[in-house]
A and B are shown apart, each in its own frame.
Chain A
């Protein structure tokens, strides 16, 4: 059974960075892309970017360019999302989700989500 398990909730001060992990299991890690999606409190879903676990190539949404870094560790089947220069508007739940290799298409399954709170 395919699972994506994310790291726990974080509380950060404005200006700090946060690193969220997403550990995959139940399939061959390098044969699917991983996406990151954000959901602010009471708001909709927002696509942040994608990483190809096979070669490590990434594509970020323009809104997050320069502040987000997505990396992977193939030895542990884990993907990481690092967001820097945090501000209060970055508060929300961050999801990782699996997508098909070679296409920006569907997301399935999703991780359980990681709540990041940015507050002074």
Chain B
């Protein structure tokens, strides 16, 4: 199972919006609504930000939103803040009854 494809880096200025893509196939992202997103700060454990494509867990800022079109899922961060600077990973259920992560995206707040 190959990793889902994410851009290596995305940057934006405070207050701007950025979008991170996560591209898979019809056997994972495109075939199921089990896509989730995680934020990881250096030296820390990942934190769940979005699950089931677009659902935000309790306590996660509404500046984070998720969507999906075909084989590509997206995470949008609006009103970018300094504390959003971190690595972001997507994850998807697969037809092999496994889970696969994306390659990861480093978000830089300029």
Question: Chain A residues in contact with chain B, CB under 8 A?
Answer: 35, 37, 44-47, 50, 59, 61-62, 95, 97, 103-113
CB atoms of A105 and B34 under 8 A apart: yes
CB atoms of B45 and A95 under 8 A apart: yes
For A105, give its contact among B38, B93, B103 (CB under 8 Å): B93
- Bound together, the chains give a CA A45 to CA B1 distance in angstroms of 13
- Least distance between A69 CB and chain B CB atoms (Å): 17
CB atoms of A107 and B36 under 8 A apart: yes
- Bound together, the chains give a CA A37 to CA B40 distance in angstroms of 13
- Least distance between A19 CB and chain B CB atoms (Å): 20
Question: Which residues of chain B come closer than 8 Å to A35, judged between CB atoms?
Answer: 99
Give how many B residues have a beta carbon under 8 Å from the other chain's beta carbons: 23
- Bound together, the chains give a CA A120 to CA B69 distance in angstroms of 48
What 9 A-B pairs come out closest when comparing CB atoms?
A: A106-B51, A108-B48, A110-B45, A44-B104, A45-B101, A47-B99, A106-B36, A104-B93, A105-B34
- Bound together, the chains give a CA A62 to CA B98 distance in angstroms of 9
Question: Which residues of chain A come closer than 8 Å to B104, judged between CB atoms?
Answer: 44-45
Question: Chain B residues in contact with chain A, CB under 8 A?
Answer: 1, 3, 34, 36, 38, 45-48, 51-52, 57, 89, 91, 93, 97-104
- Bound together, the chains give a CA A103 to CA B99 distance in angstroms of 11
- A44, A59, A108, A111: which has the most chain B beta carbons within 10 Å? A44
- Least distance between A65 CB and chain B CB atoms (Å): 11
For B101, give its contact among A44, A62, A103 (CB under 8 Å): A44
Question: Which residues of chain B come closer than 8 Å to A59, judged between CB atoms?
Answer: 97-98
- Bound together, the chains give a CA A111 to CA B46 distance in angstroms of 9
List 7 A-B pairs, Cβ < 8 Å.
Answer: A44-B89, A95-B46, A103-B93, A106-B51, A107-B38, A110-B46, A110-B47
Question: Which residues of chain A come closer than 8 Å to B89, judged between CB atoms?
Answer: 44-45
